[in-house]
């Protein structure tokens, strides 16, 4: 019966340890002050758990092309508003309030050297428990998270001027001097087009000249979390109803959406023109411009929108990511009937058709 006595001893010790731990926790002796820091051994254990957990969970992610300059630009622009307030940025030290956090959000200049691309993706998408590092607010938008990773990879080689040019587009004072711009519009102009400057990235939609009703509906869809975007949802959440209507009116009045240079693949726009103006009847695809140039303000204007943005949004419709709104439910079945080649053709045509307008009156 020796083994029985042994088992009792082991069991008894474990129960005593568990009770001791519980008593310690309940006693209040442990100091939870952020100021008091961790014991060296605690820090060591936490780091071990964090490293191993990220390494194990991050294995399955698959990266798109991270050298795409439009991804890098979009990632930089979001970083400036969504990450730099905690992590700081080239030329901007971390705020003293943030330095009182435990752990302190690290300067990310070296993060791309310590973590692999997949690991960075995993951390930015999922956040880190018990640290204050938040998860991406729209987890289905992996494409957006990859844009941030594309930027983080470039960060180690970036100086202050290079960072500012990428993240802020134009120097703030120059923007501020522009007559008639409300402070709200200036905030948006960091990413979106102004009447004299294109969007910061081809993945950021052009807004100047967009229909006011569609514009306001889009902002409300972000605000209500019906249209997922970890970039636009936090921005829309801060706008009240009056600001949404004001911005929609201001942007609708700006001259814009008149067409960009055609992309390299757009030498022959006839297929795209045909889809946009006549549809593909045998595939059940209606003419895009029957809705999009109809003058009914809830349909967005597409003429002159960037081809990269049009392609990306059509893929999002196909994946059901814009299906939560009534308007999205009108567009989703149309998008699902298009194949990749048709998407490319029609996007190139719409983007370049300011230069080469299709027949008929397009103005609403």
Among candidates 145, 125, 144, which has minimal Cα distance to 135?
125
The DSSP code for 303 is: T
Candidates 58, 77, 155, 307: give the one binding ligand HEC (CB under 6 A). Answer: 77
Helices (H), the chain: 2-27, 40-57, 69-82, 84-87, 96-99, 111-114, 117-126, 142-154, 160-168, 172-176, 183-189, 212-223, 232-237, 241-253, 270-278, 288-292, 307-318, 326-336, 340-352
Q: Which range touches ligand HEC (CB under 6 A), out of 18-26, 29-37, 101-109, 263-271?
A: 101-109
Supply the minimum distance, in Å, between the C-beta of residue 21 and ligand HEC.
Answer: 24
Cα separation, 261 vs 308, in Å, equals 13
Q: Which range touches ligand HEC (CB under 6 A), out of 14-22, 155-163, 172-180, 188-196?
A: 188-196
Candidates 58, 66, 218, 269: give the one binding ligand HEC (CB under 6 A). Answer: 218
Is position 247 an interface residue for ligand HEC (rule: CB under 6 A)? Answer: yes
Nearer to ligand HEC, 262 or 328 (CB): 328
C-beta of residue 147 within 8 angstroms of C-beta of residue 203: yes
Among candidates 338, 330, 332, which has minimal Cα distance to 283?
338
Cα separation, 16 vs 19, in Å, equals 5
Is position 188 an interface residue for ligand HEC (rule: CB under 6 A)? Answer: yes
Can you tell me whether residue 92 is helix, strand or coil? strand
Burial class (CB in 10 A: 0-12, 13-18, 19+), 72: buried
Nearer to ligand HEC, 13 or 195 (CB): 195
Residue span 311-330 as binding mask against ligand HEC, x where in contact by CB under 6 A, dash where not: --xx-------x--x-xx-x
C-beta of residue 119 within 8 angstroms of C-beta of residue 54: yes
Nearer to ligand HEC, 128 or 162 (CB): 128
Candidates 36, 42, 53, 114: give the one binding ligand HEC (CB under 6 A). Answer: 114
Nearer to ligand HEC, 235 or 308 (CB): 235
Can you tell me whether residue 194 is helix, strand or coil? strand
Is position 212 an interface residue for ligand HEC (rule: CB under 6 A)? Answer: no
Cα separation, 122 vs 53, in Å, equals 11
Q: Which range touches ligand HEC (CB under 6 A), out of 12-20, 58-66, 157-165, 308-316?
A: 308-316
Nearer to ligand HEC, 13 or 114 (CB): 114
Which residues are near ligand HEC by CB under 6 A?
Answer: 50, 74, 77-78, 81-83, 86-87, 101, 103, 105-106, 108, 111, 114, 120, 123-124, 128, 131-134, 148, 184, 187-188, 190-192, 203-205, 207, 215, 218-219, 227, 229, 231-232, 235, 247, 275, 285-286, 288, 290-292, 299-300, 302, 310, 313-314, 322, 325, 327-328, 330-331, 334, 338, 346
């Amino acid at each position: 019966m020796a083994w029985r006595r042994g088992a009792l001893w082991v069991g008894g010790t474990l129960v005593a340890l568990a009770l001791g731990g519980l008593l310690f926790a309940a006693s209040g002796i442990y100091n939870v002050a952020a100021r008091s820091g961790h014991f060296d051994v605690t820090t060591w254990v936490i780091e071990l758990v964090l490293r191993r957990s990220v390494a194990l969970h991050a294995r399955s992610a698959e990266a798109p092309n991270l050298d795409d300059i439009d991804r890098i630009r979009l990632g930089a622009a979001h970083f400036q508003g969504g990450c730099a307030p905690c992590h700081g940025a080239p030329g901007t030290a971390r705020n003293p309030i943030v330095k009182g956090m435990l752990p302190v959000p690290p300067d990310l200049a070296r993060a791309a050297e310590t973590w692999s691309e997949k690991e960075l993706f995993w951390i930015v998408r999922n956040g880190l428990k018990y640290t204050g590092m938040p998860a991406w607010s729209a987890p289905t938008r992996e494409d957006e998270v990859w844009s941030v990773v594309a930027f983080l990879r470039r960060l180690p080689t970036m100086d202050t001027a290079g960072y500012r040019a990428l993240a802020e587009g134009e120097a703030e004072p120059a923007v501020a001097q522009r007559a008639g711009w409300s402070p709200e519009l200036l905030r948006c102009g960091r990413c979106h087009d102004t009447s004299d400057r294109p969007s910061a990235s081809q993945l950021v939609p052009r807004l100047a000249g967009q229909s006011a009703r569609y514009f306001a509906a889009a902002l409300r869809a972000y605000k209500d979390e019906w249209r997922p975007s970890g970039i636009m949802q936090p921005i829309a959440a801060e706008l009240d109803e009056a600001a949404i209507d004001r911005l929609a009116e201001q942007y609708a009045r700006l001259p814009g959406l008149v067409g960009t240079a055609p992309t390299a693949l757009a030498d022959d726009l006839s297929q795209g023109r045909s889809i946009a103006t006549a549809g593909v009847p045998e595939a059940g695809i209606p003419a895009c411009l029957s809705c999009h140039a109809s003058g009914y303000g809830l349909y967005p204007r597409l003429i002159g929108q960037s081809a990269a943005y049009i392609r990306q949004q059509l893929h999002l419709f196909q994946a059901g990511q814009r299906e939560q709104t009534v308007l999205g439910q009108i567009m989703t079945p149309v998008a699902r009937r298009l194949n990749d080649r048709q998407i490319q053709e029609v996007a190139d045509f719409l983007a370049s058709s300011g230069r080469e307008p299709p027949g008929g009156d397009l103005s609403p």
